[in-house]
Each structure stands twice: as C-alpha cells, then as structure tokens.
Structure 1
Amino acid sequence: MDINFDGLEDFVIANYLGGNAGTLYAYFIQDKDGKFKIDHYLTDQVRFFPRNIDFKNKTLTFLHLSGCCSQVNFKIQLQNSNKWKQTFYEEKPL
C-alpha cells in the first residue's frame, strides 16, 4: 500500500483494538533507501484506516464512530509541501 503517493510501498498496522471508535493504526512510510519510519501525523493525529485512497487527488478518506452517538467522516489531502491538510470534516448523529 502506497499511503503517501510516492510510488513506494508503505505499511499500516493495528496498534490498538477496542473502544467505541474502533481499531487505531500506526503508519510506516518507506524512504528512498528502503527504510521505514513512523509517520507521526497519521499515527498520532489521524489514527484510523482510510476507507478510500484516491491516488489522482492524493486524498485519504476516513469514516469512524465517535462515542456512542455520532459518526465522523473526514478527508485529508497530501499537499505539494508533503504535509497533510484536512479538506473535509462532517460529524453526524446516529
């Protein structure tokens, strides 16, 4: 899986199971030397597994439960600066 759209294979592993929001993940990005480094933004801030990866627009879309009574849908886009930017956020009651 190429999570940062650079043509190199990255990997994602579950690092927490449970809670109302579901499974949380750690993201490891491969560099040009073939070494993997943790992506702290995706691991510490995003934490969820993308339900959609859009290579054309360089976006990741996420959907997860928030507590007992709502659902969160959000999208992040990889910018030319190689930083992620949230481009959509919606929280709906269940």
Structure 2
Amino acid sequence: MKYFMFLIFVLLFFDAKGQCCLHTDLSRKFDYKVIRLDHKDADGFARESKIIIELYKKSDKKLFQKIQFKTEGIGLSNVFSKCSDDRSYITGQNMKTEILDGDYGDIVIADFNFDGKEDFAIKYNIPADVGPEYCYFIQGDKGFKKDEYLSNQMLWFPWLINSKKHQLISIVSPNWGTRIYKFQYNVFSKKWRKIGNRFFRHDEGLDEELIRLKNI
C-alpha cells in the first residue's frame, strides 16, 4: 500500500516538475520507474536532464536498485513524457509497435549478453540527423551495471539480436545512405568486439543484405 501511495505522490509531483513513468509490463521480475528531471537555464529552457531509474521487485514491491545519469540531448524533446513508449523482448510488450527512424522506445528490455537475464537500454541522446542513442545496462549478480562498451560503441539500438550467434546488429541511416554495424559477444571472456562496419550509399543493395542477415 505504501508503494502505491508513494507512486501517486510522485506522479502528481512530477506532473509539474518533470516526467515520471511506471512500467509494469516490461519484466516478469521488476517494475521500472523512470523519472526525468530537467535543469533549466536562466531563460527557462531545459538544456540538460537527469534520468533516474528505480527498479522495484514485483514480489514485494521493494526498491531493488536506483540508477541515475545525465542525458546529452533530450532536454528540449518529449522523451519519457509518454509512458507507453516502451518495449520488451522479454514479455512482448509493444513488440508490434512500428519502429520509426531507429526509435525502439524510451526504455527497452532485452537480453543483450545472452545469459538468460533481462537487461535494459534507455535513451540518453537525440542527435539531429539520425535516430536516438541508447545507454545499455547489463544485469549481474548484484544488480544492473552500465555496459561501457555497448554504450560508447553501439549507440543505436540493435536492429537484430541474434542469440544463436551471440551477435547484435545496429543500423543508422543518415540522409546519404545506411551503415550497418555488427558486434560479437564472447560468452567466455565476456567481452565485445566489432566485427562489421558496412556502408550502403543511397541504400543500394541494402534490402538484400538485411534479408541475408536475418537468415544467417
């Protein structure tokens, strides 16, 4: 009961001060609460935002972990203002929602390192000419930790998660074509490496390559 009373208070408070969303359908183990706090400059514009992610255990509604970080470029956007903008490869939530311009949702739950545990990705930057960039958090024995390699190298959410080959493939499409990045995970060393970086000018031959990647 205290959990839900606190949630109501937070929702009312952040309606005026920022944004707060509770995601209950993304995980079988956790509820994800995402809070966005805007830092406004002297002119009243939100130049920077702080994102707070709180994970509550479904079993007892107790706080499991709290994560926070600063964003780079969402201060003037509507990111995290629409609570239904989420996706889960674990429960199937919003998996049929159309993906536009590389936008998979404000927060996305999936298994990125192929260990059977859910991880999550969350938006942290909105570049002007390509899709949103994501931070990736991997679940370990003691909670979730930011994956520095994926967050710095695989900025765009993976178009394809190949659990059979332990590969993630991301796509970015500026105006002059499309670039495909491939990342390979070694389950023994627990390290990533980039194994592909191919550019298709004006998207010539892109459809054939995407079909090939889906079928390998």
Please report the TM-score for the alignment, with normalisation by the length of structure 1. Answer: 0.89
2: CA distance, partners of 1:44 / 1:71: 19
> How far has the Cα of 1:21 moved from its partner?
2.1
Please report the TM-score for the alignment, with normalisation by the length of structure 2. Answer: 0.41
> Which residue number corresponds to residue 23 of structure 1?
132
SS at match of 1:42: helix
SS at match of 1:19: coil
- Does 1:85 find its partner at 2:85? no
Counterpart code for 1:22: G
> How far has the Cα of 1:85 moved from its partner?
1.5
Percent identity between the aligned chains? Answer: 34
The 5 Å alignment of 1:34-53 reads 35-53=143-161
Structure having the higher helix fraction is: 2
Q: How many residues align?
A: 92
Counterpart code for 2:148: H
Question: Which 4+ residue blocks in structure 1 deviate beyond 2 angstroms?
Answer: none
For the pair shown, the structure with the greater C-alpha radius of gyration is 2
Gaps of 5+ in 2: 1-109, 203-216
2: CA distance, partners of 1:86 / 1:18: 22
SS at match of 1:47: coil
1: CA distance, partners of 2:198 / 2:153: 17
- Does 1:60 find its partner at 2:182? no
Larger RCO, structure (CA 8 Å, separation 6 or more): 1
> How far has the Cα of 1:28 moved from its partner?
0.4
- CA deviation map 1:44-69 (0-9, x unaligned): 12111000001111000111124x31
Further displaced range: 45-54 or 80-89: 80-89
> How far has the Cα of 1:3 moved from its partner?
0.7
2: CA distance, partners of 1:70 / 1:85: 24
> Which residue number corresponds to residue 183 of structure 2?
76
Q: Equivalent of 1:11, from 110, 120, 141?
A: 120
Structure having the higher strand fraction is: 1
Gaps of 5+ in 1: none
